[in-house]
Structure 1
Amino acid sequence: MKLELKNLSKRYAETSVFSRVSLEVAAGEFVAIVGESGVGKSTLLNCMAGLDDWDEGSVTLMGQDLSQLNADQRALMRRRHVGFVFQAFHVLPHLDVAQNVGLPLLLLGQQIDDRVEKMLAAVGLQGLGTRLPQQLSGGQLQRVAIARALVHQPALLLADEPTGNLDPTTAATVMNALIAQTQEHGAALVLVTHSKAAAARADRVLILSSDGIRAA
């Protein structure tokens, strides 16, 4: 697995979000991206997943230039190879925990099997598979989101402020689960965060600003 961004630039009308962003992420690497609020960290993460378009430059994932793919092809690439942990969880309220976690498997046409229970146990949610999201705490919901993002063993995990709304103890638990599971499956992890504690655990820390990206 290799993720490569070359001279990536993004604008909204005449306003530049970021420009000339170049970076590479290798298989198994943990990269944290930090920067001031509003500098475009979440937008950059969305570009890496092909969820957002960009104005200049390229995003290449596993040898595939995402700009050459249409929306359906990008969605299939994400479904197979990318896990995304959203800051706002985005769990489906009408599905129980196990169904939420197993959703990526269903989208790939696979059976929901013991991988779901194993993943729930791995993030400390064993025995909670039949609960609905509204019966869980914020920290538990974030771990559901992590389990869902990892159940299909993606090559790349993208996490947008996964500890942003959590207390320090719960945040540490969530980071432990996130790092342990990506390491176990050899996945690359790109984390966008304001948390110094979370960033300190990365292999590399990069600072995003309006005119590019640099090592911390």
Structure 2
Amino acid sequence: MNTASPPASPLAAPPAVVAEGLAFIYASGGGLTRADITLEGGVMAAVEGPSGSGKSTLLAVLGLILSPTAGSLHITGTDTGALLPADRDLLRRRSIGIVLQDLGLLTFLNAWENVAAAFGPRLARHRTTARALLGDLGMEHLSDSRVTELSGGQRQRVAVARAAVKQPVLILADEPTSGLDPKTANSVTGALRSCAERGAAVLLVTHDRAVSETCDRRYVLDGGVLSSAGAEDTLRGHAREENAHDENARQGNLG
């Protein structure tokens, strides 16, 4: 009789991000009051919110640029609060890609060189990888173009490629479609979607409802507090119902 135990099933990979009670308060006041969010690989999520609501602060904390003043943050199961500064920097470089609002592209380099720069100064070593990713994002014919010769949407896609080229588990994008026309914005969100399809968790902040509605999940950040857009919409719906009820009652009293 065979008494061997069946093979153990492989453990599921931990979520790319688990943040609980995450906060960062500036000395002058304001910032991020509370954020609870879990993102798995392959998910594309959006955060909406007015200017000054804490969106950029949220990205900086999730991107390990700022250390939270409260709460916990795990990246692929690693408790970032327990890491030394050098280890945090290493985790950020290996596991997180960031698309800055001002892009931060190097104007003296061409498109593929800007993407390869994510690996460091030895650009030629990563030429094939960089050019292949640009091709996947519809930019193959522009790989040798200086970024100063590219349109706004094309530069945005170069920035997305640079953030994604090291195959990070998390990609953060700060207003990636700001100032772009709808067609160009669609090409940029399509590039971010491609990153999610490759297995990364993608989180973008935006003022554009049309952009956020293309994502798998939507969140609202207001007054430093992050909530799901579904919960926000429900609260607004209840408020509208209560206002309508009050108005009907008032009209009835007048009648």
Give the TM-score normalised by structure 1.
0.92
Question: Is 2:188 the counterpart of 1:188?
Answer: no
Corresponding residue of 2:3:
none
Q: Is 1:200–2:180 an aligned residue pair?
A: no
Larger Rg: 2
In 2: Cα distance, 1:199 partner to 1:82 partner: 21
1:68 paired with 2:82, answer yes
Structure 2 portions without partners, runs of 5+: 1-14, 230-255
2:135 is equivalent to residue 134 of structure 1: no
Aligned 8 A contact 2:117 2:123 in 1: no
Q: Give the equivalent residue in structure 2 for 1:213.
A: 226
Secondary structure of 1:112 counterpart: helix
Distance 1:28 1:107 in 2: 30
Give the count of matched residue pairs.
Answer: 215
Task: Name 1:18's counterpart in structure 2.
Answer: 32
Superposed displacement of residue 172, structure 1: 0.9
Greater share of residues in helix = 2
1:1-216 → structure 2 map (5 Å cutoff): 1-106=15-120, 111-183=125-197, 185-216=198-229
Displacement after TM superposition at 1:104 (Å): 2.1
Structure number with the bigger relative contact order (C-alpha 8 A, sep ≥ 6) is: 1
1:170/1:89 Cα in 2 relative to 1: closer, same or farther (>3 Å)?
same
**Equivalent pairs: percent with the same residue?**
36
Counterpart amino acid of residue 210 in structure 2? A
* Letter of the structure 1 residue corresponding to residue 207 of structure 2: H
SS in 2 for 1:37: coil
Partners of 1:67 and 1:110 in 2: CA distance:
36
* Conserved 8 A contact 1:27-1:186: yes
Q: Please tell me the residue identity of whatever aligns with 1:76.
A: L
Q: Is the alpha carbon distance of 1:78 and 1:164 closer, same or farther for their aligned partners in structure 2, counting shifts above 3 Å?
A: same
Taking structure 1 as reference, are residues 65 and 139 closer, same or farther at Cα in structure 2, changes over 3 Å only? Answer: same
The letter for the 2-side match of 1:124 is: G
Corresponding residue for 2:232?
A: none
